[in-house]
Amino acid sequence: MLKTKRESFGIGNDKGYKSWGEVEFAGSKYFEVVSMAEKKRKRVVILGAAGRDFHNFNVFFRNNPDYEVVAFTATQIPDIEGRVYPAELAGELYPNGIPILPEDDLEKIIKEKDVDIVVFAYSDVSHEHVMHLASRAHSAGADFWLLGPKSTMLKSKKPVVAVTAVRTGCGKSQTSRKVAQLLQEMGFKVVAVRHPMPYGDLRKQVVQRFATFEDLDKHECTIEEREEYEPYLERGMVVYAGVDYEKILREAEKEADIILWDGGNNDFPFFEPDLWIVVTDPHRPGHELKYHPGETNFRSADVIIINKVDTANRDDIQKVRENIEKINPNAIVIEAASPIFVDNPELIKGKRVLVVEDGPTLTHGGMSYGAGYIAAKKFGAKEIIDPRPYAVGSIIETYKKYPHLSNILPAMGYGKKQIKELEETINRADADVVIMGTPVDLRRFMNLNKPAVRVKYELEEIGQPKLKDILEEWVKNCEKLKKKE
Protein backbone atom coordinates (compact mmCIF):
# COMPACT_ATOMS: atom_id res chain seq x y z
CA MET A 1 0.00 0.00 0.00
CA LEU A 2 1.54 3.33 -1.11
CA LYS A 3 0.82 6.73 0.40
CA THR A 4 2.12 10.16 -0.61
CA LYS A 5 2.14 11.48 2.95
CA ARG A 6 3.89 9.63 5.76
CA GLU A 7 2.04 11.79 8.28
CA SER A 8 -1.24 10.13 7.39
CA PHE A 9 -0.14 6.91 9.08
CA GLY A 10 1.79 7.23 12.33
CA ILE A 11 4.06 4.44 13.51
CA GLY A 12 2.15 2.27 15.94
CA ASN A 13 -1.14 4.13 15.37
CA ASP A 14 -4.58 2.67 15.94
CA LYS A 15 -4.57 1.12 12.45
CA GLY A 16 -1.98 -1.37 13.69
CA TYR A 17 0.90 -0.29 11.48
CA LYS A 18 4.29 -0.76 13.12
CA SER A 19 7.04 0.32 10.73
CA TRP A 20 7.81 2.06 7.45
CA GLY A 21 9.60 0.94 4.32
CA GLU A 22 10.75 3.62 1.87
CA VAL A 23 10.23 2.93 -1.89
CA GLU A 24 10.82 4.70 -5.22
CA PHE A 25 7.86 5.14 -7.61
CA ALA A 26 7.87 7.17 -10.84
CA GLY A 27 10.86 9.20 -9.70
CA SER A 28 9.30 10.16 -6.36
CA LYS A 29 9.75 8.75 -2.87
CA TYR A 30 6.77 7.12 -1.23
CA PHE A 31 6.40 5.17 1.95
CA GLU A 32 5.19 1.63 2.26
CA VAL A 33 3.48 0.79 5.52
CA VAL A 34 4.37 -2.71 6.70
CA SER A 35 2.21 -4.47 9.29
CA MET A 36 3.72 -6.84 11.84
CA ALA A 37 2.12 -9.75 9.99
CA GLU A 38 4.10 -8.78 6.85
CA LYS A 39 7.42 -8.05 8.56
CA LYS A 40 9.79 -10.95 9.26
CA ARG A 41 11.04 -11.04 12.82
CA LYS A 42 14.70 -11.91 13.29
CA ARG A 43 14.96 -15.37 14.81
CA VAL A 44 17.21 -15.57 17.87
CA VAL A 45 18.74 -18.26 20.08
CA ILE A 46 20.24 -17.18 23.44
CA LEU A 47 23.19 -19.15 24.83
CA GLY A 48 22.98 -19.22 28.61
CA ALA A 49 23.26 -20.99 31.94
CA ALA A 50 20.00 -20.01 33.68
CA GLY A 51 20.92 -16.46 34.66
CA ARG A 52 22.18 -13.71 32.36
CA ASP A 53 20.32 -15.34 29.45
CA PHE A 54 16.90 -14.90 31.08
CA HIS A 55 17.75 -11.33 32.11
CA ASN A 56 18.82 -10.35 28.59
CA PHE A 57 15.61 -11.82 27.23
CA ASN A 58 13.46 -10.01 29.79
CA VAL A 59 14.94 -6.55 29.27
CA PHE A 60 15.78 -6.61 25.56
CA PHE A 61 13.77 -9.25 23.69
CA ARG A 62 10.59 -10.04 25.64
CA ASN A 63 8.38 -7.26 24.29
CA ASN A 64 10.47 -6.47 21.22
CA PRO A 65 8.42 -7.09 18.04
CA ASP A 66 11.54 -7.10 15.84
CA TYR A 67 12.85 -10.40 17.26
CA GLU A 68 11.58 -13.89 17.98
CA VAL A 69 13.57 -15.90 20.50
CA VAL A 70 13.13 -19.48 19.34
CA ALA A 71 15.25 -21.16 22.05
CA PHE A 72 17.60 -20.79 24.95
CA THR A 73 20.53 -23.16 25.30
CA ALA A 74 22.03 -24.33 28.59
CA THR A 75 25.49 -25.29 29.84
CA GLN A 76 27.69 -25.17 33.04
CA ILE A 77 24.85 -26.19 35.41
CA PRO A 78 23.65 -29.82 35.54
CA ASP A 79 20.13 -30.71 34.36
CA ILE A 80 18.90 -27.24 33.39
CA GLU A 81 18.29 -28.06 29.74
CA GLY A 82 15.08 -29.80 28.69
CA ARG A 83 12.95 -27.21 30.47
CA VAL A 84 10.79 -24.44 29.06
CA TYR A 85 10.99 -20.74 29.84
CA PRO A 86 7.32 -20.47 30.78
CA ALA A 87 4.74 -18.41 28.94
CA GLU A 88 3.89 -16.60 32.18
CA LEU A 89 7.40 -15.09 32.16
CA ALA A 90 7.95 -14.94 28.41
CA GLY A 91 5.09 -12.52 27.69
CA GLU A 92 2.36 -12.11 25.10
CA LEU A 93 4.63 -12.78 22.12
CA TYR A 94 5.40 -16.28 23.43
CA PRO A 95 2.12 -18.03 24.32
CA ASN A 96 3.85 -21.44 24.37
CA GLY A 97 6.96 -20.35 26.24
CA ILE A 98 10.50 -20.91 24.93
CA PRO A 99 12.36 -24.27 24.93
CA ILE A 100 15.70 -24.62 26.73
CA LEU A 101 17.99 -26.93 24.74
CA PRO A 102 21.56 -28.27 25.13
CA GLU A 103 24.31 -25.95 23.88
CA ASP A 104 26.03 -28.96 22.31
CA ASP A 105 23.25 -28.97 19.69
CA LEU A 106 23.86 -25.36 18.60
CA GLU A 107 24.44 -26.02 14.89
CA LYS A 108 21.40 -28.30 14.73
CA ILE A 109 19.26 -25.65 16.45
CA ILE A 110 20.43 -22.92 14.06
CA LYS A 111 19.56 -25.07 11.06
CA GLU A 112 16.25 -26.49 12.23
CA LYS A 113 14.93 -23.23 13.65
CA ASP A 114 16.28 -21.01 10.86
CA VAL A 115 18.17 -18.84 13.38
CA ASP A 116 19.42 -15.41 12.30
CA ILE A 117 21.20 -14.32 15.50
CA VAL A 118 23.00 -16.20 18.28
CA VAL A 119 23.28 -14.16 21.51
CA PHE A 120 25.96 -15.17 24.02
CA ALA A 121 24.73 -14.64 27.59
CA TYR A 122 26.68 -16.40 30.35
CA SER A 123 29.88 -15.81 32.28
CA ASP A 124 33.26 -17.00 33.53
CA VAL A 125 34.56 -18.34 30.25
CA SER A 126 37.73 -17.54 28.35
CA HIS A 127 37.72 -15.14 25.43
CA GLU A 128 38.78 -18.13 23.33
CA HIS A 129 35.67 -20.05 24.45
CA VAL A 130 33.42 -17.16 23.41
CA MET A 131 35.02 -16.91 19.99
CA HIS A 132 34.77 -20.66 19.39
CA LEU A 133 31.03 -20.28 19.90
CA ALA A 134 31.04 -17.29 17.57
CA SER A 135 32.78 -19.41 14.94
CA ARG A 136 30.22 -22.18 15.39
CA ALA A 137 27.40 -19.66 14.96
CA HIS A 138 29.01 -18.06 11.91
CA SER A 139 29.80 -21.37 10.24
CA ALA A 140 26.14 -22.31 10.64
CA GLY A 141 25.13 -19.03 8.97
CA ALA A 142 24.04 -16.93 11.97
CA ASP A 143 25.21 -13.61 13.36
CA PHE A 144 26.81 -13.57 16.83
CA TRP A 145 25.91 -10.94 19.42
CA LEU A 146 27.05 -9.81 22.86
CA LEU A 147 24.61 -7.46 24.60
CA GLY A 148 26.39 -4.92 26.79
CA PRO A 149 25.58 -2.76 29.81
CA LYS A 150 23.65 -0.07 27.95
CA SER A 151 21.18 -2.64 26.59
CA THR A 152 20.79 -4.67 29.77
CA MET A 153 21.41 -2.58 32.92
CA LEU A 154 18.35 -1.38 34.83
CA LYS A 155 18.37 2.03 36.51
CA SER A 156 17.44 2.29 40.17
CA LYS A 157 15.96 5.20 42.08
CA LYS A 158 18.11 4.10 45.02
CA PRO A 159 21.92 4.14 45.14
CA VAL A 160 23.52 0.90 43.93
CA VAL A 161 26.89 -0.44 45.03
CA ALA A 162 27.97 -3.34 42.81
CA VAL A 163 30.53 -5.98 43.75
CA THR A 164 31.75 -8.14 40.87
CA ALA A 165 34.94 -10.00 39.99
CA VAL A 166 37.25 -10.99 37.16
CA ARG A 167 36.75 -14.73 37.87
CA THR A 168 34.65 -16.98 40.05
CA GLY A 169 36.34 -17.53 43.41
CA CYS A 170 38.15 -14.18 43.69
CA GLY A 171 36.37 -13.21 46.91
CA LYS A 172 33.18 -11.39 45.93
CA SER A 173 31.19 -12.89 48.79
CA GLN A 174 33.38 -11.67 51.64
CA THR A 175 33.82 -8.32 49.88
CA SER A 176 30.04 -7.92 49.56
CA ARG A 177 29.59 -8.82 53.22
CA LYS A 178 32.23 -6.26 54.24
CA VAL A 179 30.59 -3.54 52.14
CA ALA A 180 27.18 -4.35 53.63
CA GLN A 181 28.57 -4.28 57.17
CA LEU A 182 30.28 -0.91 56.68
CA LEU A 183 27.17 0.70 55.17
CA GLN A 184 25.02 -0.71 57.98
CA GLU A 185 27.42 0.78 60.53
CA MET A 186 26.85 4.14 58.83
CA GLY A 187 23.15 3.75 59.58
CA PHE A 188 21.83 2.67 56.15
CA LYS A 189 19.34 -0.10 55.45
CA VAL A 190 21.16 -2.28 52.92
CA VAL A 191 19.33 -4.86 50.83
CA ALA A 192 21.38 -7.35 48.83
CA VAL A 193 20.29 -8.45 45.38
CA ARG A 194 22.08 -11.56 44.17
CA HIS A 195 22.84 -12.54 40.61
CA PRO A 196 20.29 -15.20 39.54
CA MET A 197 20.49 -18.91 40.24
CA PRO A 198 17.00 -20.08 39.11
CA TYR A 199 17.53 -23.81 38.66
CA GLY A 200 14.08 -24.98 39.76
CA ASP A 201 10.50 -24.12 38.77
CA LEU A 202 10.94 -20.72 37.10
CA ARG A 203 7.30 -19.76 37.66
CA LYS A 204 7.90 -19.93 41.43
CA GLN A 205 11.16 -17.97 41.21
CA VAL A 206 10.08 -14.72 39.54
CA VAL A 207 10.82 -12.69 42.68
CA GLN A 208 12.39 -14.37 45.71
CA ARG A 209 12.87 -12.65 49.06
CA PHE A 210 15.00 -14.30 51.74
CA ALA A 211 14.88 -13.00 55.31
CA THR A 212 15.09 -16.22 57.37
CA PHE A 213 16.63 -19.67 57.06
CA GLU A 214 13.10 -21.04 56.70
CA ASP A 215 12.85 -19.06 53.44
CA LEU A 216 15.70 -21.17 52.04
CA ASP A 217 13.68 -24.32 52.66
CA LYS A 218 10.48 -22.74 51.34
CA HIS A 219 12.15 -21.89 48.05
CA GLU A 220 13.90 -25.30 47.89
CA CYS A 221 17.29 -23.66 47.48
CA THR A 222 20.25 -25.48 45.98
CA ILE A 223 23.57 -25.65 47.79
CA GLU A 224 24.94 -22.91 45.50
CA GLU A 225 22.08 -20.61 46.51
CA ARG A 226 22.51 -21.38 50.19
CA GLU A 227 26.23 -20.64 49.93
CA GLU A 228 25.40 -17.11 48.83
CA TYR A 229 22.33 -16.33 50.96
CA GLU A 230 23.18 -17.82 54.37
CA PRO A 231 25.98 -15.37 55.27
CA TYR A 232 23.58 -12.44 54.75
CA LEU A 233 20.83 -14.07 56.77
CA GLU A 234 23.28 -14.69 59.60
CA ARG A 235 23.80 -10.91 59.67
CA GLY A 236 20.06 -10.16 59.72
CA MET A 237 19.98 -8.88 56.14
CA VAL A 238 17.37 -9.34 53.43
CA VAL A 239 18.40 -10.86 50.10
CA TYR A 240 16.49 -10.82 46.81
CA ALA A 241 17.03 -13.02 43.77
CA GLY A 242 14.97 -14.74 41.10
CA VAL A 243 14.25 -14.39 37.39
CA ASP A 244 12.65 -10.99 36.65
CA TYR A 245 15.12 -8.36 37.85
CA GLU A 246 12.95 -5.39 36.94
CA LYS A 247 10.35 -6.65 39.43
CA ILE A 248 13.06 -7.62 41.91
CA LEU A 249 14.61 -4.16 41.76
CA ARG A 250 11.29 -2.40 42.37
CA GLU A 251 10.59 -4.61 45.40
CA ALA A 252 14.08 -4.10 46.82
CA GLU A 253 13.78 -0.32 46.39
CA LYS A 254 10.75 -0.32 48.71
CA GLU A 255 12.84 -1.37 51.73
CA ALA A 256 16.40 -0.25 50.96
CA ASP A 257 18.37 2.94 51.48
CA ILE A 258 21.16 1.38 49.42
CA ILE A 259 21.03 -1.66 47.14
CA LEU A 260 24.03 -3.97 47.10
CA TRP A 261 24.43 -5.87 43.84
CA ASP A 262 26.20 -9.14 44.67
CA GLY A 263 27.46 -10.46 41.35
CA GLY A 264 27.67 -14.06 40.22
CA ASN A 265 30.65 -15.68 38.50
CA ASN A 266 32.42 -12.77 36.79
CA ASP A 267 29.32 -11.22 35.21
CA PHE A 268 28.75 -7.48 35.06
CA PRO A 269 25.80 -6.05 37.06
CA PHE A 270 22.16 -6.12 36.00
CA PHE A 271 21.69 -2.75 37.74
CA GLU A 272 23.52 0.43 36.80
CA PRO A 273 26.03 0.93 39.64
CA ASP A 274 26.72 4.24 41.36
CA LEU A 275 29.86 2.64 42.81
CA TRP A 276 31.46 -0.38 41.12
CA ILE A 277 33.89 -2.56 43.11
CA VAL A 278 35.74 -5.38 41.33
CA VAL A 279 37.76 -8.17 42.96
CA THR A 280 40.85 -9.72 41.37
CA ASP A 281 42.85 -12.84 42.28
CA PRO A 282 46.67 -12.81 42.07
CA HIS A 283 46.61 -16.62 42.28
CA ARG A 284 45.39 -16.34 38.67
CA PRO A 285 47.38 -13.34 37.39
CA GLY A 286 46.43 -12.19 33.93
CA HIS A 287 42.98 -13.77 34.06
CA GLU A 288 41.56 -10.27 34.47
CA LEU A 289 42.32 -9.80 30.74
CA LYS A 290 41.55 -13.30 29.50
CA TYR A 291 38.03 -14.10 30.68
CA HIS A 292 34.60 -12.87 29.67
CA PRO A 293 32.96 -10.77 30.96
CA GLY A 294 35.45 -10.31 33.78
CA GLU A 295 37.56 -8.02 31.62
CA THR A 296 34.51 -5.77 31.23
CA ASN A 297 34.38 -5.48 35.03
CA PHE A 298 38.12 -4.85 35.23
CA ARG A 299 37.97 -2.03 32.71
CA SER A 300 34.83 -0.48 34.26
CA ALA A 301 35.71 -0.59 37.97
CA ASP A 302 35.77 2.44 40.24
CA VAL A 303 37.57 0.36 42.89
CA ILE A 304 39.74 -2.72 42.26
CA ILE A 305 40.59 -5.07 45.13
CA ILE A 306 43.63 -7.30 44.79
CA ASN A 307 42.59 -10.07 47.17
CA LYS A 308 44.58 -12.93 48.76
CA VAL A 309 47.84 -10.97 48.86
CA ASP A 310 48.81 -12.84 52.03
CA THR A 311 49.08 -16.14 50.15
CA ALA A 312 49.97 -15.03 46.59
CA ASN A 313 53.40 -14.67 45.02
CA ARG A 314 54.64 -11.06 45.02
CA ASP A 315 55.47 -11.24 41.30
CA ASP A 316 51.88 -12.29 40.57
CA ILE A 317 50.51 -9.43 42.68
CA GLN A 318 52.75 -7.05 40.75
CA LYS A 319 51.47 -8.43 37.44
CA VAL A 320 47.87 -7.63 38.47
CA ARG A 321 48.96 -4.13 39.55
CA GLU A 322 50.68 -3.55 36.21
CA ASN A 323 47.54 -4.60 34.34
CA ILE A 324 45.49 -2.17 36.42
CA GLU A 325 47.92 0.62 35.64
CA LYS A 326 47.79 -0.20 31.94
CA ILE A 327 44.03 -0.84 31.55
CA ASN A 328 42.24 1.12 34.30
CA PRO A 329 44.68 3.60 35.84
CA ASN A 330 41.92 5.74 37.35
CA ALA A 331 40.63 2.94 39.57
CA ILE A 332 41.30 3.09 43.32
CA VAL A 333 43.36 0.02 44.27
CA ILE A 334 43.03 -1.85 47.57
CA GLU A 335 45.18 -4.80 48.63
CA ALA A 336 43.40 -7.29 50.87
CA ALA A 337 43.62 -10.71 52.45
CA SER A 338 40.90 -13.25 53.20
CA PRO A 339 42.11 -14.91 56.41
CA ILE A 340 40.32 -18.10 57.39
CA PHE A 341 38.69 -18.92 60.70
CA VAL A 342 37.67 -22.41 61.82
CA ASP A 343 35.29 -23.44 64.55
CA ASN A 344 36.89 -26.25 66.63
CA PRO A 345 40.28 -26.30 64.83
CA GLU A 346 41.47 -28.87 67.38
CA LEU A 347 39.33 -31.46 65.55
CA ILE A 348 41.59 -31.18 62.50
CA LYS A 349 45.04 -31.74 63.99
CA GLY A 350 46.41 -35.22 63.34
CA LYS A 351 43.22 -36.39 61.61
CA ARG A 352 42.38 -37.79 58.20
CA VAL A 353 40.06 -35.18 56.72
CA LEU A 354 37.62 -34.87 53.85
CA VAL A 355 37.67 -31.35 52.38
CA VAL A 356 34.42 -30.04 50.84
CA GLU A 357 34.86 -26.81 48.86
CA ASP A 358 32.68 -24.23 47.12
CA GLY A 359 31.35 -25.88 43.95
CA PRO A 360 31.49 -23.11 41.29
CA THR A 361 34.98 -22.01 42.36
CA LEU A 362 36.33 -25.49 41.70
CA THR A 363 34.31 -26.41 38.61
CA HIS A 364 33.96 -23.67 36.00
CA GLY A 365 36.09 -21.38 38.24
CA GLY A 366 39.03 -23.68 37.52
CA MET A 367 40.58 -23.67 41.01
CA SER A 368 42.02 -26.94 42.34
CA TYR A 369 41.60 -26.05 46.02
CA GLY A 370 39.93 -23.50 48.27
CA ALA A 371 39.61 -22.36 51.88
CA GLY A 372 38.99 -25.86 53.21
CA TYR A 373 42.25 -27.19 51.81
CA ILE A 374 44.17 -24.23 53.24
CA ALA A 375 42.54 -24.83 56.64
CA ALA A 376 43.50 -28.52 56.55
CA LYS A 377 47.14 -27.59 55.96
CA LYS A 378 47.14 -24.71 58.43
CA PHE A 379 45.67 -26.67 61.33
CA GLY A 380 47.75 -29.82 60.94
CA ALA A 381 45.61 -32.46 59.27
CA LYS A 382 47.40 -35.80 59.07
CA GLU A 383 46.03 -36.53 55.60
CA ILE A 384 43.63 -34.97 53.10
CA ILE A 385 41.85 -37.98 51.61
CA ASP A 386 40.95 -38.46 47.95
CA PRO A 387 37.11 -38.39 47.75
CA ARG A 388 36.89 -39.89 44.25
CA PRO A 389 36.70 -43.57 45.29
CA TYR A 390 33.64 -42.75 47.41
CA ALA A 391 31.75 -40.64 44.84
CA VAL A 392 28.30 -41.71 43.67
CA GLY A 393 25.93 -40.72 40.86
CA SER A 394 26.40 -37.23 39.45
CA ILE A 395 29.41 -36.63 41.71
CA ILE A 396 31.28 -39.24 39.65
CA GLU A 397 30.31 -37.35 36.51
CA THR A 398 31.56 -34.09 38.03
CA TYR A 399 35.01 -35.57 38.50
CA LYS A 400 35.00 -36.82 34.91
CA LYS A 401 34.03 -33.37 33.62
CA TYR A 402 36.60 -31.55 35.78
CA PRO A 403 39.68 -33.83 35.84
CA HIS A 404 41.82 -31.19 37.59
CA LEU A 405 39.98 -32.02 40.84
CA SER A 406 41.56 -34.63 43.11
CA ASN A 407 41.83 -34.28 46.90
CA ILE A 408 38.81 -32.07 47.33
CA LEU A 409 35.06 -32.59 47.00
CA PRO A 410 33.07 -29.82 45.26
CA ALA A 411 29.82 -29.03 47.05
CA MET A 412 27.60 -29.92 44.10
CA GLY A 413 23.91 -29.70 44.94
CA TYR A 414 21.75 -28.34 42.12
CA GLY A 415 18.70 -30.34 43.16
CA LYS A 416 17.40 -32.75 45.81
CA LYS A 417 18.84 -35.79 44.04
CA GLN A 418 22.32 -34.32 43.74
CA ILE A 419 22.25 -33.09 47.35
CA LYS A 420 21.51 -36.67 48.45
CA GLU A 421 24.37 -37.94 46.27
CA LEU A 422 26.73 -35.42 47.85
CA GLU A 423 25.57 -36.49 51.32
CA GLU A 424 26.13 -40.16 50.45
CA THR A 425 29.59 -39.40 49.08
CA ILE A 426 30.55 -37.60 52.31
CA ASN A 427 29.20 -40.38 54.51
CA ARG A 428 30.93 -43.12 52.48
CA ALA A 429 34.31 -41.37 52.72
CA ASP A 430 36.91 -42.99 54.97
CA ALA A 431 37.77 -39.87 56.96
CA ASP A 432 37.73 -38.78 60.61
CA VAL A 433 36.47 -35.23 60.05
CA VAL A 434 34.74 -33.20 57.34
CA ILE A 435 36.15 -29.72 56.67
CA MET A 436 33.45 -27.52 55.13
CA GLY A 437 35.23 -24.90 53.03
CA THR A 438 31.95 -23.96 51.38
CA PRO A 439 30.16 -20.89 52.82
CA VAL A 440 27.08 -22.99 53.64
CA ASP A 441 26.71 -25.16 56.74
CA LEU A 442 25.91 -28.55 55.23
CA ARG A 443 24.63 -29.78 58.59
CA ARG A 444 21.53 -27.61 58.20
CA PHE A 445 20.10 -29.99 55.59
CA MET A 446 22.31 -33.10 55.63
CA ASN A 447 22.73 -35.91 58.14
CA LEU A 448 26.49 -36.40 58.32
CA ASN A 449 27.91 -39.50 60.01
CA LYS A 450 31.17 -37.89 61.09
CA PRO A 451 32.22 -34.69 62.88
CA ALA A 452 32.44 -31.53 60.78
CA VAL A 453 34.15 -28.16 61.15
CA ARG A 454 33.18 -25.03 59.28
CA VAL A 455 35.67 -22.68 57.64
CA LYS A 456 34.81 -18.99 57.35
CA TYR A 457 36.73 -16.20 55.68
CA GLU A 458 36.39 -12.43 55.81
CA LEU A 459 37.96 -9.59 53.86
CA GLU A 460 40.72 -7.62 55.58
CA GLU A 461 42.32 -4.67 53.81
CA ILE A 462 46.07 -4.29 54.06
CA GLY A 463 47.45 -0.76 54.22
CA GLN A 464 45.62 2.19 52.69
CA PRO A 465 43.08 3.02 51.39
CA LYS A 466 40.37 1.16 53.31
CA LEU A 467 36.91 0.31 52.03
CA LYS A 468 35.45 2.33 54.88
CA ASP A 469 37.19 5.51 53.68
CA ILE A 470 36.04 4.97 50.10
CA LEU A 471 32.43 4.26 51.11
CA GLU A 472 32.28 7.28 53.43
CA GLU A 473 33.53 9.54 50.63
CA TRP A 474 31.07 8.00 48.18
CA VAL A 475 28.14 8.41 50.59
CA LYS A 476 29.05 12.07 51.06
CA ASN A 477 29.00 12.72 47.31
CA CYS A 478 26.21 10.36 46.20
CA GLU A 479 23.50 12.48 44.54
CA LYS A 480 20.77 9.90 45.16
CA LEU A 481 21.47 9.96 48.89
CA LYS A 482 21.52 13.77 48.89
CA LYS A 483 18.02 13.77 47.35
CA LYS A 484 16.85 11.45 50.12
CA GLU A 485 18.01 13.96 52.73
Of 112, 132, 151, the one marking the end of a domain is: 151
Q: What's the confidence (pLDDT) of residue 445?
A: 86
Rounded distance between C-alpha atoms, residue 248 and residue 253, angstroms: 9
For residue 382, being part of any structural domain is answered with yes
For residues 306 and 245, state if they share a domain: yes
Q: For position 440, what pLDDT does the model report?
A: 80
Question: Once rounded to an integer, what is the mean pLDDT over residues 97-125?
Answer: 97
140 and 178 fall within a common domain: no
Same domain, 312 and 365: no
Residue 400 in domain: yes
Cα separation values, 116 from 10, 95, 173, 345, Å: 29, 21, 38, 58
Report the CATH number that the domain containing residue 165 is assigned in CATH: 3.40.50.300
Examine the domain organization and report whether 288 and 346 are in the same domain. Answer: no
Contact (CB, 8 A) for 411 and 477: no
238 with 297, same domain: the answer is yes
383 found inside a domain: yes
Same domain flag for 218 and 318: yes
Tens digits of per-residue pLDDT, 221-262? Answer: 888 788 888 889 988 999 999 999 999 999 999 999 999 999
Confirm whether 28 is domain-assigned: no
Q: How far apart are CA 193 and CA 160, in angstroms?
A: 10
The reply to whether 244 and 260 lie within a common domain is yes
Identify whether residues 475 and 409 lie together within a single domain. no
Residue 175 CA to residue 182 CA, distance in Å, equals: 11
CATH code for position 111 = 3.40.50.720
Under the banding of pLDDT at 50, 70 and 90, the label for residue 349 is very high
Mean per-residue pLDDT, 5-13? 35
The yes-or-no verdict on residue 5 having pLDDT over 50 is no
Asked if residue 286 is part of any domain, the answer here is yes
Q: What angle do CA 27, 28, 32 make, to 5 degrees?
A: 125
Count of domains observed in the chain: 3
Q: What is the pTM of this model?
A: 0.82
Domain boundary among 96, 127, 151: 151
Question: Each residue of 331-340: pLDDT tens digit?
Answer: 999 999 988 8
CA-angle at 321, arms to 320 and 326, nearest 5°: 95
How high is the pLDDT of residue 222?
81
pLDDT at 101 over 60: yes
- DSSP letter (8 states) at residue 325: H
Is the model's pLDDT at 147 over the cut of 60?
yes
In a domain, 276, yes or no: yes
Residue 317 and residue 177 in one domain: yes
Decide which of 151, 181, 209 is a domain's last residue.
Answer: 151
Same domain, residue pair 107 and 245: no
What would the DSSP string read from start to end of 253-317?
Answer: HHH-SEEEEE--TTPPPSB--SEEEEEE-TTSTTGGGTEETHHHHHHH-SEEEE--TTTS-HHHH
Q: Is residue 16 part of a domain?
A: no
391 and 334 in a common domain: no
Residue 331's Cβ-side half-sphere holds a number of Cα atoms within 13 Å equal to 29
* 353 assigned to some structural domain: yes
Output the pLDDT for position 483.
Answer: 64
289 and 252, same domain (yes or no): yes
Q: Which range of residues forms the domain containing residue 384?
A: 341-457
